[in-house]
Amino acid sequence: MSGNVRLLDETLAAAKSEGRAALIAYLPAGFPTVDGGIEAVKAALDGGADIVEVGLPHSDPVLDGPVIQTADDIALRGGVRIADVMRTVREAHAATGKPVLVMTYWNPIDRYGVERFTAELAEAGGAGCILPDLPVQESALWREHAEKHGLATVFVVAPSSRDERLAEITAAGSGFVYAASLMGVTGTRESVGAQAEDLVRRTRATTSLPVCVGIGVSTPAQAAEVARFADGVIVGSAFVKRMLDAPDDAAGVEAVRALAGDLAGGVRRRA
């Protein structure tokens, strides 16, 4: 069975044709429980997100700040497994028809087996993977299997990436390019800053792929600011924080739905 990279491409193109950026939400699988996480992902999509990234919880999440680390810890203590991540992808995509990616560090895939992981993700209806710590020069095996199974390979670029390095990364990727808006870990920020706009400009000079900005976006105003220059706006920690702050799981799901609606308004407004 082929994955949904085409659906991802079509979704990003449709947002562009509407004169707006796509809203991409991130939530970890298994948080606060496997069932609760599935409901949260579906709520983000129903509330207004165009695309969702389902995080595969990891014990050493080097890119993630304290909010997502807390959620990952809860998921891991709850016994979340890769099978639960695949179930989350399957049920969220089946319920909404929207593209669902997995964001994961390389080690769990390496241990699980690249062929097995890509085949199962495609079978679940997944659109691809975001791989923040897989070096492009070591990605040939992954890309071979991802392409075979119709999955996007999304790499992360940072403000520190030199232009020649950007060209190398974007040439190997598909789906979109994840532009980290600033150096450091994920989390909410007071301002996304000019670094992000410059990074998008430099990245676009190397590729025709959409460039989507994440890290630091948490409010509709910030989403509107980033939507002015990016093809997609990625929000993670703000969703997770709503879940962590909620008095119970049901309230957390509704808080995610409401935030998705607010942010969807933001990407349509453009600062």
How open is the CA angle 231-232-236, to the nearest 5 degrees? 165
Which residues does 3 contact at the CB level (< 8 Å), separation at least 6?
118, 121, 122, 125, 126, 127, 128, 149, 150, 151, 152
Which residues does 18 contact at the CB level (< 8 Å), separation at least 6?
none
Q: Is 53 known to be catalytic?
A: yes
Alpha helices in the chain (DSSP H): 5-17, 34-47, 66-77, 82-96, 106-112, 114-123, 140-148, 163-172, 194-204, 220-227, 237-245, 249-269
Residues across the chain = 271
What does the radius of gyration of the chain's CA atoms come to, in whole angstroms? 17
Q: Which residues pair with 24 in a beta bridge?
A: 51, 234
Which residue of the set 9, 39, 64, 91 is catalytic? Answer: 64
CB atoms within 10 A of CB 160: 11
Q: How far apart, in whole angstroms, are the C-alpha atoms of residue 59 and residue 101?
A: 20
Which residue of the set 9, 50, 53, 120 is catalytic? Answer: 53
Mind telling me the catalytic residues? 53, 64
